[in-house]
Amino acid sequence: GGYPRLFSPWQVGHLTLPNRVVMGSMHMGLEDSHADLPRLAEFYAERARGGVGLIVTGGFAPNRLGRLSPGAGMLATRKDAEAHRVVTDAVHGEGGHILAQLLHAGRYAQSPLQVSASRTRAPISPVTAFALPTAAVRRTVRDFVRAAGWARQAGYDGVEVMASEGYLINQFLAPATNRRTDCYGGSARNRRRFLEEIVTGIRQAAGEGFVISVRLSMVDLVQDGQTLEETLDAARAVERCGADLINTGIGWHEARVPTIVTSVPRAAFATATARVKDVVDIPVSASNRITLPHTAEQILSADQADAVTMARPFLADGHWVRKAQADHEQAITPCIGCNQACLDHVFSGRTVTCLVNPRAGRETEEPYTRLGMPAMPSAGRDDGALRVAVVGGGPAGLAAAHAAAEAGHAVTLFEEQERVGGQFRLARRIPGKEEFAEALAHFRHRLEPLGVDVRTGVRADAAILTGGAGEPAFDHVVVATGVVPRELDIPGIDRPEVHAYPDVVDGTVTCGDTVAVIGAGGIGVDVAELLTTPADHPHGAFQEHADWEREWGVDPDFGGRGGLAPRTAPAVPRTVHLLQRSPGRIGARLGATTGWVHRGTLKARGVVQHSGVRYLRIDDAGLHIEVTRTVGRLRKRTEVSRKVLAVTDVVVCAGQESEASLAVRLRAAGMPEERIHVVGGALKAGEIDAKRAIDEAVRAVARI
Catalytic residue annotation:
167
Q: Does residue 315 interact with ligand SF4 by CB under 6 A?
A: yes
CA nearest 352: which of 304, 314, 396, 383?
314
Interface residue with ligand NAP among 163, 518, 618, 662 (CB under 6 A) is: 518
How many whole angstroms separate alpha carbon 634 and alpha carbon 167?
A: 37
Q: Does 335 bind ligand SF4 (CB under 6 A)?
A: yes
Which residues lie closer than 8 Å to 634 by C-beta, 6 or more apart? Answer: none
- Helix ranges (H only) for 411-567 are 423-427, 435-447, 462-465, 501-505, 522-531, 545-552
SS3 at position 419: coil
Say which entry of ligand SF4, ligand NAP, none residue 521 contacts (CB below 5 to 8 A, set by partner kind): ligand NAP
Among 151, 238, 316, 693, binds ligand SF4 (CB under 6 A): 316
One of 235, 342, 420, 697 touching ligand SF4 (CB under 6 A): 342
Signed CA dihedral, 490, 492, 497, 502: sign only: positive
Return the number of the residue (310 or 515) whose C-beta is nearest ligand SF4.
310
Contact between 216 and ligand SF4 by CB under 6 A: the answer reads no
- State the pairing for strand pair 211-219/115-116: unpaired
Residue 398 in contact with ligand SF4, rule: CB under 6 A: no
Name the one range near ligand SF4 by CB under 6 A: 335-343, 377-385, 421-429, 479-487: 335-343
Q: What is the three-class DSSP state of 62?
A: coil
- Asked if residue 37 lies in contact with residue 86, where contact means CB atoms within 8 angstroms, the answer is yes
The DSSP annotation for 325-390 comes to HTT-GGGS----S--TTTHHHHHTTPPP--SS-TTTT-TTSTTGGGSPP-PSS-----TT--EEEE
Residue numbers 77-136 binding ligand SF4 by CB under 6 A? none
Closer to ligand SF4 by Cβ: residue 325 or 594: 594
Indicate the DSSP class of residue 133. P
Does residue 336 interact with ligand SF4 by CB under 6 A?
yes
590 binds ligand SF4 (CB under 6 A): no
Query: Which amino acid belongs to residue 416?
Result: E
Candidates 60, 58, 52; CA nearest to 22 is 52
The torsion angles phi and psi of 459, rounded to 5 degrees, stand at -90, 115
* Minimum distance from residue 250 beta carbon to ligand SF4 (Å): 16
Stretch that binds ligand NAP, among 181-189, 517-525, 531-539, 661-669 (CB under 6 A): 517-525
CB of 573 to ligand SF4, least distance (A): 29
Regarding 354 and contact with ligand SF4 (CB under 6 A), the answer is yes
Residues found in the chain:
704
Determine which residue in the list 185, 242, 249, 337 makes contact with ligand SF4, applying CB under 6 A: 337
Which 274-313 residues touch ligand SF4, going by CB under 6 A? Answer: 312
Helix axes 595-604 and 522-531, enclosed angle (nearest 10): 40
Cross-strand bridge partners of residue 517? 578, 651
Q: Residue 367, preceding bond cis, omega within 30 degrees?
A: yes
- 332 is a site residue for ligand SF4 (CB under 6 A): no
> Is residue 81 a contact residue for ligand NAP (CB under 6 A)?
no
* Three-class secondary structure of residue 397 per DSSP: helix
* 437 is an interface residue for ligand SF4 by CB under 6 A: no
Q: Which is nearer to ligand SF4, 184 or 269 (CB)?
A: 269
Shortest distance, CB of residue 678 to ligand SF4, whole angstroms?
24
Taking CB within 5 to 8 Å according to partner kind, which of ligand SF4, ligand NAP, none is near residue 213? Answer: none
Whether residue 318 contacts residue 306, with contact meaning beta carbons closer than 8 Å, is answered with no
Torsion from C-alpha of 470, 475, 478, 484, nearest 10 degrees: 30
Residue 480 near residue 392, CB atoms below 8 Å? yes
Binding partner of residue 335 among ligand SF4, ligand NAP, none, CB under 5 to 8 Å per kind? ligand SF4
Quick one: which of 304, 339, 481, 532 contacts ligand SF4 (CB under 6 A)? 339
340 contacts ligand SF4 (rule: CB under 6 A): yes
Backbone angles phi, psi at 331, to 5 degrees: -80, -15
29 binds ligand NAP (CB under 6 A): no
CB 395 to ligand NAP: min, Å: 11
| Piece of 229-237, 447-455, 528-536, 654-662 that binds ligand NAP (CB under 6 A) | 654-662
Query: What b/e sequence results for 563-592 when a residue is b if at least 16 CB atoms lie within 10 Å of its CB, and e otherwise?
Result: bbbebeebeeeebbbbbbbeeeebbeebbe
Selected from 68, 221, 355, 454, the binder of ligand SF4 by CB under 6 A is 355
Binding mask 537-576 for ligand NAP (x = CB under 6 A): ----------------------------------------
Of 59, 49, 87, nearest to 167 by C-alpha is 59
Could you tell me how far CA 367 lies from the centroid of its own chain?
Answer: 24
Binding-site partner at residue 158 among ligand NAP, ligand SF4, none, CB < 5 to 8 Å by type: none
The answer to whether residue 449 forms part of the interface with ligand NAP (CB under 6 A) is no
- The interface mask with ligand NAP, positions 656-675, x = CB under 6 A, is x-------------------
Residue 283 touches which of ligand SF4, ligand NAP, none (Cβ within 5-8 Å per kind): none
Long-range contacts, stretch 544-553, CB < 8 angstroms, 24+ apart:
544/265, 545/265, 545/268, 545/271, 548/264, 548/265, 548/268, 551/604, 552/257, 552/258, 553/257
Is 488 near ligand NAP (CB under 6 A)? yes
- The interface partner of residue 315, options being ligand SF4, ligand NAP, none and the CB cut-off 5 to 8 Å by kind, is ligand SF4
Site membership for ligand SF4, residue 618 (CB under 6 A): no
CA-based nearest residue to 175, from 231, 241, 108, 112:
231
- Under rule CB under 6 A, residue 689 binds ligand NAP: yes
Nearest-approach distance from CB 541 to ligand SF4, in angstroms = 13
Smallest distance from the beta carbon of 265 to ligand SF4, in angstroms?
16
- The Cα–Cα gap between 323 and 580 comes to 45
The piece of 197-205, 353-361, 418-426, 674-682 that touches ligand SF4 (CB under 6 A) is 353-361
**Residue number closest to ligand NAP, CB atom:** 521
The stretch among 53-61, 66-74, 464-472, 687-695 that binds ligand NAP (CB under 6 A) is: 687-695
Angle, to 10 degrees, between the axis of helix 78-93 and the axis of helix 134-153?
40
Distance CA 561, CA 565 (A): 9
Q: Which of 228, 341, 403, 700 binds ligand SF4 (CB under 6 A)?
A: 341
Q: Which is nearer to ligand NAP, 320 or 436 (CB)?
A: 436
**Residue 653 is a binding residue for ligand NAP (CB under 6 A):** yes
Least distance from ligand SF4 to the Cβ atom of residue 43, Å: 13
Number of chain residues interacting with ligand NAP (CB under 6 A):
23
List residues binding ligand NAP (CB under 6 A): 340, 486, 488, 518-524, 526, 580-582, 591, 594, 653-656, 687-689
List residues binding ligand SF4 (CB under 6 A): 312, 315-316, 335-342, 354-356
